[in-house]
């Protein structure tokens, strides 16, 4: 269920931009909610300012470098944002894609080896033989100062592929 405060900020953003947004969100979670808009864009409104600021900084870094893809993976293009409303408007992406940078790191977090090993095991479980493609893209993000450890199905999607989920 979408938080009423987040939905109100989405209405305020779309009203100020003279656009409308879909009644039902494309998705929602701990970080906020995402809707399609009448100008064929995606609007993401965040629950927490920290996640908003991280995601915005990642998209700004990629936009400044002219990046639309990380290796073969599309990343949403930053179209507009509103700091007061903690809202980001971005372009659509098609698989394969990487999105949702609200939990990225802008410096190397230096996780202990056992944490990285566990994360790598989950990645192999989800992507199987395709995991190398995902790892190469995540490594490529580091050249822009983005350490992305929220790689999971839904955030990183391959074409014509169905993920395995924990049972």
Domain extents for the chain? 4-157
Please tell me the distance from the alpha carbon of residue 90 to that of residue 81, in angstroms, as a whole number.
9
Q: pLDDT band at residue 164, thresholds of 50, 70 and 90?
A: low
Res 161: pLDDT: 65
Q: pLDDT band at residue 162, thresholds of 50, 70 and 90?
A: low
CA atoms within 13 Å, Cβ hemisphere of 80? 14
* Domain 4-157, classified CATH 3.30.200.20, yes or no: yes
Question: Mean pLDDT, to the nearest integer, of 36-56?
Answer: 96
Cβ(55)–Cβ(101) under 8 Å? Answer: yes
pLDDT > 90: what percent of the chain? 88
The overall average pLDDT reported for the chain is 93
Q: Is the pTM of this model over 0.75?
A: yes
Q: Which of 68, 83, 69, 14 is nearest to 42 (CA)?
A: 14
3-class secondary structure, 132 = helix
pLDDT in tens, 73-110: 999 999 999 999 999 999 999 999 999 999 999 999 99
For every residue of 56-109, DSSP letters joined together read HHHHHHHHHTT-SEETTEE-PPEEEEETTTTEEEE----SSEE---TT-BSS--
pLDDT greater than 90 at residue 33: yes
């Amino acid at each position: 269920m979408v938080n009423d405060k987040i939905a109100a900020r989405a209405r305020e953003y779309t009203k100020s931009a003279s656009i409308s947004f879909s009644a039902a969100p494309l998705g929602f979670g701990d970080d906020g909610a995402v809707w399609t808009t009448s100008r064929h864009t995606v609007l993401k409104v965040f629950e927490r300012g920290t996640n908003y600021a991280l995601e915005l900084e990642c998209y700004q870094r990629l936009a400044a470098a002219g990046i639309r893809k990380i290796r073969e993976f599309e990343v949403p293009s930053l179209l507009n944002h509103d700091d007061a409303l903690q809202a980001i408007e971005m372009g659509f992406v098609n698989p394969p894609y990487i999105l949702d940078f609200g939990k990225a790191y802008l410096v190397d977090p230096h996780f202990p080896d056992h944490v990285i090993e566990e994360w790598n095991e989950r990645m192999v479980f989800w992507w199987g033989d395709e995991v190398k493609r995902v790892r190469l893209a995540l490594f490529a993000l580091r050249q822009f100062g983005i350490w992305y450890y929220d790689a999971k199905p839904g955030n990183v999607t391959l074409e014509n592929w169905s993920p395995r989920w924990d049972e």
